[in-house]
Amino acid sequence: MLVKFLVGIVKKIRFSCLPYAETTGGGFPGWGVTVPGPWRTYNQTYVDAYTPYVKMIGGQIAKAQITKGGPVVMLQVENELVKGVPGVEWPQKGYMQDLIDKFRAAGVVVPTANNEAWPAGWHAPGSGVGAMDIYAHNGYPNGFNCKQLYNWSATGLPTWWHSDHVRISPSTPYAILEVCGLVCFLYMI
């Protein structure tokens, strides 16, 4: 789990079984290393493994919500869940809905979001099973070119995000939860 602080006052909780791939173990939690079958799917062995974790974390989040005087204003249920294991049907809407249901059962009432890697709209509000309260995706306007830190693309700033909002979820809030001028992993150069 990753907690993001905004000016030390408000928190968005990012629960995910893959919070950041740039961390030890590729971002995967230790509790899952012995789970057979594909992760981040509605695979029953995986569901059985994450259920106690979600129940415990969900209870902690529920106590810290803004509705109870706490700083948590939103729960990011997953991160970049847009495609994965070959042979597994995507998107995994049943898995996403199971996470939402488990957090709601633990008392979490703040809005939910999933940070899609690109604006696919799979978990947009009103899209059925696995739908979030707030639609969100990533944005890296200047890409991943670490060797040219000072060469900013003249066409790098997306002008289509508004039209994506109108196309995907026009009557609900819209967020770009992970947005950077560029991403640079210096250890990879």
The catalytic site residues sit at 80, 178
Distance (Å, rounded) from C-alpha 149 to C-alpha 99? 38
Please report how many Cα atoms fall inside a 13 Å half-sphere around the Cα of residue 176, on the Cβ side.
15
Beta strands 2-6 and 10-14, pairing class: antiparallel
DSSP per-residue codes, the chain: -EEEEETTTEEEEE--SSS-TTSGGGG--GGGTT--S-SSSS-HHHHHHHHHHHHHHHHHHHHTBGGGTSSEEEEEEEES-S--STTS-SS-HHHHHHHHHHHHHTT--S-EEEEESS---TT-TTSSTT--SEEEEEE-TTTT-GGGTT---TT-S-S-HHHHHHHH-TTS-EEEEEE-S----GGG-
What the block records as the tokens of 91 is: 């998107």
